[in-house]
Amino acid sequence: MWLNERARQTGGAGYECAGVTLGGSQVETVASAHLRETPVYAPYGYAANVPAGAQVLLLSGGEDGAVVAGARMGNADLAPGEVELRGPGGAVVRLCRDGTVRINGLVINEKGEIEP
């Protein structure tokens, strides 16, 4: 894995878990050090602000110093291969294995029809 190879090259772990103390697009984190304005990276097309209290994965080294590479996922009741998006206000969008999409309890089947 890339992280392990990087750790061998730099003589350190290169990553650690951290708590977010101030959320937003550039978060404050506390782990082995207190970091401010830590850049947050995500896959292209995704946008989210990490909330205070979240647990994140910090990668260290490189031009940006430490960066947030992802947030710890909760224990969602998902089948293998399913994807779920959750907002802080309780909104939920789930892409299910059977081709259906569930939006706040509304079910849209693989044909695009709303199921009762």
| Percentage above 70 pLDDT, the chain | 85
- Judge if pTM exceeds 0.75: no
Domains of the chain from N-terminus onward? 2-71 (2.40.50), 83-115 (no CATH)
How confident is the model over 55-99, as pLDDT tens digits?
A: 999 998 766 688 999 999 877 789 999 999 988 899 999 999 999
3-state helix/strand/coil string of 52-79: CCCEEEEECCCCCCCEEEEECCCCCCCC
